[in-house]
Structure 1
């Protein structure tokens, strides 16, 4: 998919972290008013970030969204990874297209309480490269927020690509200072070094870090379910303590959780009593407590 548009017109004059949704509606132009109205119907905005790729961030975001929906919350999961959207596969919805009208799109329903949106639903070919610059990404992300009929949500969980570039910056600017960040790392120092920058990024944007999740913290044997620390452990917890933010919990590296992502079934729903599901539920409970 090639670049075809100039992105969000309102961005030509710049956008501060708290400019979206912070003004009285009568003071906004029509497009800002539409964004503010959409966000006003969402109680909490949870942005899942990581400064490092390959830490299982999308898996954490997807299972967190499922866990929140199983707690009888109305949840939207927005995948803003423009170049590598994962949500369609994680929910076995490849080839699904959202219903679109001239003024809005309907999110793809997964259950009564969980709806999804991803650029992956829009691509005619799953292997098609998306070649967009920053302003076009900003325009697409804005559309996914303001033009999708999310309805009344308790939570909107946003899965960002790794780093602190265009997509995370656009999301934090559009959502404003109500957005809270869940930051995912693995225990190794090489990951923690990069993830530390994500904590700093959120602080510089003026947003709250809800907490750090240490993913792939130990390996779960598929036969006896014993956990072995094939990597180091505790890196995420030490990072949280160093940066003065909450530690939300550890999720082990589990072959069954990886298989659930590959095959597109909801691990949290299928294996609710599994130790790894309980670890994810610990993170979800921390988010629910806020």
Structure 2
């Protein structure tokens, strides 16, 4: 199969692909044991794209001279058709450690399970985690027309993160303008196939948030807090930032609310209870519900298996959140064009 310089022949590699991948193949390149594919994605759901990517990658990696496979999907460009840019849904918090990234992942998956075409941008430039949370670690995105193509995930949500662009464990020591530039690169990628982009923002109210407000004004913002007073004070600051920037607040989520002991079944509230709901009422913003403090959420998330993609109480909690957010998106669908 290999040529004299040990580079596999592209026609032979094409023959290894599943039939559906061969039919959709737009480009195949091989260089230095890395195969890069571009597949046409029209008519495929996000889950079907993920299944096709997994099958194509597995088929090509059977060739002993191939060490890495990069796959990109491009939407079909109908003549004269212009698709609206996806609506941006920012997920923010005033401080770190409130579970914002995990909530962003599961909200995106919950929205996708309701039939929306959802993409996920990991805007936490210094502490990216979405590659692990969506089970896409080690996959490098390809570029097309000088723009990144999102990485397909097994859960029907394509994603882009600095974790896909940097080496594992690499410290990203950038000043504000460089971080803002990275955000621009992630958001200006090929998201044409998405209806909604869930953007997992870093904690606080710094350069990345300001770039988002000034250059990529979100359709709305979901604010995440834990029940304790300190987290709620910081969440209030995040709400104020978005409100001053003219971004509607979708609502406030109380995360890590209530813990049920797996041994005795007793319920306790290590971070308090009801604080976010009371704050939402005081601030005049909707309360979107509570997500429990549950070890299953932590273990599944660490394994790259979002609880929202499964069944049980954890999935139900995220599904309920997704339903409220989807209803808000539907009710405001025409507001941006007015």
What is the TM-score with the length of structure 2 in the denominator? 0.70
- From 198, 201, 205, give the equivalent of 2:238: 198
Matches within 5 A, 1:17-36: none
Report what 2:319 is aligned to.
Answer: 281
3-state DSSP of counterpart to 1:256: helix
Judged with a 3 Å threshold, the aligned counterparts in structure 2 of structure 1 residues 224 and 279 are, in CA distance, closer, same or farther, namely farther
3-state DSSP of counterpart to 1:287: helix
Unaligned runs of 5+ in 1: 1-37
- From 37, 40, 53, give the equivalent of 2:84: 40
Report what 1:121 is aligned to.
Answer: 164
What is the Cα deviation at residue 228 of structure 1?
Answer: 2.4
The answer as to whether partners of 2:227 and 2:276 remain within 8 angstroms in 1 is yes
* 1:214 is aligned to 2:258: no
What is the Cα deviation at residue 128 of structure 1?
Answer: 1.1
What is the Cα deviation at residue 260 of structure 1?
Answer: 0.9
3-state DSSP of counterpart to 2:148: coil
What is the Cα deviation at residue 224 of structure 1?
Answer: 7.0
Give a deviation string over 1:91-110, Cα, whole Å, max 9, x none. Answer: 22211101123522110011
- From 213, 216, 228, give the equivalent of 1:175: 216
What is the Cα deviation at residue 226 of structure 1?
Answer: 5.7
- What is the distance in 2 between the residues matched to 1:174 and 1:200? 18
Aligned length in residues? 247
- What is the distance in 2 between the residues matched to 1:197 and 1:180? 16
- From 163, 168, 176, give the equivalent of 1:134: 176
Judged with a 3 Å threshold, the aligned counterparts in structure 2 of structure 1 residues 101 and 263 are, in CA distance, closer, same or farther, namely same
- What is the distance in 2 between the residues matched to 1:226 and 1:62? 28
* 1:237 is aligned to 2:277: yes
- What is the distance in 1 between the residues matched to 2:287 and 2:276? 7
Report what 1:162 is aligned to.
Answer: 203
Question: Which is higher, the Rg of structure 1 or of structure 2?
Answer: 2
- What is the distance in 2 between the residues matched to 1:149 and 1:77? 12
The answer as to whether partners of 1:99 and 1:106 remain within 8 angstroms in 2 is yes
Judged with a 3 Å threshold, the aligned counterparts in structure 2 of structure 1 residues 225 and 268 are, in CA distance, closer, same or farther, namely farther
RMSD of equivalent CA atoms: 1.8
Structure with the greater relative contact order (CA < 8 A, sep ≥ 6): 1 or 2? 1
What is the Cα deviation at residue 187 of structure 1?
Answer: 0.2
